[in-house]
Structure 1
């Protein structure tokens, strides 16, 4: 039985389907210089463009970026190195898109794999790059600190290998970001709005390209980023969306772009005039400079998918300039991509772009899509309401929340990884449901408010090692809050095997799955009033976070954790913890435990 806009589906029928199997202080190195691991620590420190190509390690020394320039770390595939970090404020850090095989201890999200690094102390993250190749990134992972604490990671092919596309004549890293006006205490404002469940969470004043608004904001027009190019050359642009809370459209005036990579994996080349990039995603594109010598804007503007009653948004268009070298007059302003940059609410443009994405799927870069699925899940992504006991909240007796399968995530006071590894009870429950508690017309209008009432919990999903998993994420229109939900998975990449609008139909939609060359990503958007189907193999033991990368949704509880059990061998089992993990003390959450030695040996 399928689910349509005019019919509902019995939960038991759906379960039958489910049960069927079938800044940031990188050590700076000379730009474009490759160094051996042994000589890394002797490398010199020149400019804000920090690059290195390594077989092994590099250290993160300090968390600063006064110049708001893109922070770049360039590595060779196969890299494995500890990164030492000293904190002046409590922060955690994640390498977004790094799978960290068997090593969740260095994944980074607060209360999931570690507690906050106390001020004035150090914590060493060990980064292990295995499958990743292309552009990924790193960012802070507590509250909204990632708005400024982030940087790019470029993973080069292994020595002796090459790109699966013609070598570019040059390359640039482009980081899209968010700006909050000076004087805005983002975390304090966030805490206040969260406490009363208000939709008025601080919104970005505008959006940035490499730390600048560009020409359309007076305070920034003298520092608009310029990329100087030669005529007739091809350039590789590595784009990171570090934007907080929104998708972005991106286009370059009079120049087509060829997408060749996404989220640290190569794609089949597709020629496009614009991109739609989700927060947390990365894309590698090729641009050939074949136009008349002059200046051309690259422009990024928000793709606004949310119900406007919940959040207003900035209409500022961020710009940078591609400028051809040569002797010619600069009497006219740069060309703007007026005909190719989609408008704020252009859903068809977004869908057209995402439906073109495919994995490279060659002998050298094969796909490994699970065919026989052992675990199926159907997860609703919703805005919800929670009761407010004293009627002091934004909506009186209730406040806004968000959920997956009607459970709004609550952070524990001890991180889930420590609790799992040490067998500490009372921190989480292993009962995250495979299906929502009730099936209804998820994308219908005027849905009963009773359906939006969520429960609160710290529920995790437990998977056996090597299980093959299919998850269908279904967007809902509860509280008229349907919008895009870019779902990000820690510890894994996954295949997008299906994508559609409306309600998922478990009889007909799987017939159209792409099991040949689906895109392999770590972040992908559930469309507004739509669904996305993913598959992956649970072959990375540990504790891993899954969350919406719209930060207000993550803060409201659109998160959950999955635990992958150890396999039968040491090579398929989670590594032991490092000698030191930040202690779970002075938590802003309710304290379940005092300061303890969490690093005692365990028999688990």
Structure 2
């Protein structure tokens, strides 16, 4: 099948998808055991102790069918506290399984176990799981694939010959726990050593002249392949290309999109993209290249690395091992074809890639709510707080601590011994110390002025900020519209904003400063893309809308690790509804504790929880 015929085939599959009557298969319970431990791995002539699941990097792929229940037994044999976040899984009425330390649960301590149990309903496509503790998600991550309950034949695109997770990541020749401690101390001098595709560094990196192994995808001429692309990196948005081939993008963040043909995929940390590739090039070898982008000067420049794997046609009869393949091709003169990549500072390609995504219109697509109950205008940027007292010298001064902010407030965990979710659920003391996330920043200015990026007098007056446990409460069912505005204060980056427990309609995006008088007219309320991670463009804005219909305590944060560590986050609290079906369930009986109630056996804690739940529901409904 030629690539030019793929969109036609996709259109035909969409028609079938919209009109087919299917018989649903029975749901199952999918169980996994995740043993978190440390092991030595050697790359770039250096042995590094890394924390992994089941001695794999990336970790095991969790494959489920829509409607299944999942039980993942986490056995923590590492020296680190651990939680696992199921990125993009909505966790309906089950915020307890969301896996954010001290927000939804106490961490799993070393030599302790915990089982995450949750249902996967109303979702199909590619998500992923990762640690939500410090920087450990760089090595603790894996794919989470949700297949249609009625089989691959019901995909709204041609049935692929194979489905392949492509996990883009980074290799750190450093102690990641130390990297996290450094960031907490405002030390930002730690960088990754390489980029990876499915854990392999590729032949652009070598040890004493011997090329590192690269990922190799073997294909058969004429076959269709579904690449499930995941960006698990801590710091970089990537461009992905395969020489001589095009992608047909069919889904993003486990939501189907109108098929979109392109030769490049832009994917930021936290995002997933599903794309079809037809093996219709002349038989041979073709590089699969991932290249990170970053904001141009005057933004801070950091070491970021391109890596590459290979797409190899089976008819070429070449070795499967990536390194051997490259050496063989050099000896024979059969050169591997490389794609022309965007420039490292080309951020507009990402802007247009995301702007070209629209939702596939089908019977299960939820319409965009037209009535808006709450509106937030949220600026994203950096700032500083004084190390001692209220007054200090700003700019390049050791008297300040650099922080990341939302509406000029940097998030900090409250001084509580229980997670926020438990405090909210049981109405315990401590919730009164929380600060409401403001509707807008404290002052208006030219948010995207490039002169604010470097230290200097212009940014210093805007630099002072504060730290607080910022939350926003929403009544159940409220429609919330948020405009994220990137600012130039000490940085010009894009910001991939991830909301736990909900998907967002991405209504519009733009460059420069948001102007409601003209930009509301650009809103797509017919078929906007639906995402759990929204890329706010470099020195630009993105407008989103979501329905707060999942009760619980949910993180909203930037998925760049240094922004997360510096406080670019807030907590969204969604209240219970008026029925049992819209009320948060009680915590599981083996829920981890942080010292309180540690003298209670799990069954005693569970019984007390059930009694409390009955009383709480009766009081709230009376």
Q: TM-score, normalised by structure 1?
A: 0.85
Q: Distance in 1 between matches of 2:335 and 2:424?
A: 56
Q: Distance in 1 between matches of 2:281 and 2:266?
A: 23
Q: Distance in 1 between matches of 2:599 and 2:464?
A: 37
Give how far 1:333 is off.
5.3
Going from structure 1 to structure 2, the CA distance change for 1:327 and 1:383 (only over 3 Å counts) comes to: closer
The residue aligned with 2:502 is 492
The residue aligned with 2:439 is 434
The residue aligned with 2:204 is 216
Give how far 1:334 is off.
4.7
Going from structure 1 to structure 2, the CA distance change for 1:333 and 1:471 (only over 3 Å counts) comes to: farther
Q: Distance in 2 between matches of 1:395 and 1:584?
A: 37
What does 1:461-500 correspond to in 2, within 5 Å?
461-479=472-490, 481-500=491-510
Q: Distance in 1 between matches of 2:467 and 2:337?
A: 47
Q: Distance in 1 between matches of 2:316 and 2:175?
A: 47
What is the CA deviation profile of residues 314-369 of structure 1, one whole-angstrom value per residue up to 9, with x for unaligned ones? 2x321111110115785345544432x21211122111211101111123x42321
The residue aligned with 2:164 is 172
What does 1:230-249 correspond to in 2, within 5 Å?
230-249=220-239
What does 1:38-117 correspond to in 2, within 5 Å?
55-63=28-36, 64-69=53-58, 71-88=60-77, 89-117=80-108
188, 203, 208: which one aligns with 2:191? 203
Q: Which moved more, 1:225-234 or 1:330-339?
A: 330-339
497, 520, 526: which one aligns with 1:510? 520
The residue aligned with 1:383 is 382
CA contact (8 A) 1:229 1:324 kept: yes
The residue aligned with 1:568 is 578
The residue aligned with 1:318 is 307
Residue aligned with 1:575, SS:
coil
Residue aligned with 1:478, SS:
coil
The residue aligned with 2:276 is 286
The residue aligned with 1:531 is 541
Q: Which moved more, 1:186-195 or 1:294-303?
A: 186-195
Give how far 1:246 is off.
1.2
451, 461, 479: which one aligns with 1:450? 461
CA contact (8 A) 1:306 1:483 kept: no
Give how far 1:80 is off.
1.5
Residue aligned with 1:424, SS:
coil
Going from structure 1 to structure 2, the CA distance change for 1:232 and 1:461 (only over 3 Å counts) comes to: same
Q: Distance in 1 between matches of 2:212 and 2:300?
A: 35
Q: Distance in 1 between matches of 2:551 and 2:195?
A: 37
Residue aligned with 2:508, SS:
strand
The residue aligned with 2:149 is 158
Going from structure 1 to structure 2, the CA distance change for 1:308 and 1:581 (only over 3 Å counts) comes to: farther
The residue aligned with 1:348 is 348
Which structure 2 segments of 5+ residues have no match? 1-24, 37-52, 319-328, 453-457, 617-622
Give how far 1:311 is off.
5.1
CA contact (8 A) 2:34 2:54 kept: no
Q: Distance in 1 between matches of 2:570 and 2:55?
A: 34
What does 1:541-580 correspond to in 2, within 5 Å?
541-580=551-590
The residue aligned with 1:423 is 427
Give how far 1:452 is off.
1.8
What is the CA deviation profile of residues 377-409 of structure 1, one whole-angstrom value per residue up to 9, with x for unaligned ones? 111111111111299998311021001111100
Give how far 1:308 is off.
6.6
124, 128, 132: which one aligns with 1:133? 124
CA contact (8 A) 2:205 2:212 kept: no
What is the CA deviation profile of residues 225-282 of structure 1, one whole-angstrom value per residue up to 9, with x for unaligned ones? 2111111111111111101111011000010111001111111110000011010111
413, 430, 433: which one aligns with 1:411? 413
Residue 144, structure 1, aligned to residue 117, structure 2: no
CA contact (8 A) 1:198 1:399 kept: no
Residue aligned with 1:237, SS:
strand
Q: Distance in 2 between matches of 1:596 and 1:455?
A: 38
Q: Distance in 1 between matches of 2:227 and 2:511?
A: 31
Q: Distance in 1 between matches of 2:225 and 2:59?
A: 18
Residue aligned with 2:90, SS:
coil
The structure that is helix-richer by fraction is 2
Q: TM-score, normalised by structure 2?
A: 0.83
Q: Distance in 2 between matches of 1:213 and 1:477?
A: 33
CA contact (8 A) 1:213 1:221 kept: no
Give how far 1:221 is off.
3.3
Give how far 1:576 is off.
0.8
Residue aligned with 1:554, SS:
helix
Residue aligned with 1:507, SS:
helix
Q: Which moved more, 1:386-395 or 1:421-430?
A: 386-395
CA contact (8 A) 2:285 2:337 kept: no
Residue 277, structure 1, aligned to residue 267, structure 2: yes
Determine which structure has greater relative contact order: mean sequence separation of CA pairs < 8 Å that are 6+ residues apart, divided by chain length.
Answer: 1
CA contact (8 A) 1:228 1:323 kept: yes
What is the CA deviation profile of residues 462-512 of structure 1, one whole-angstrom value per residue up to 9, with x for unaligned ones? 000000110000011112x12111000100111100100111101110111
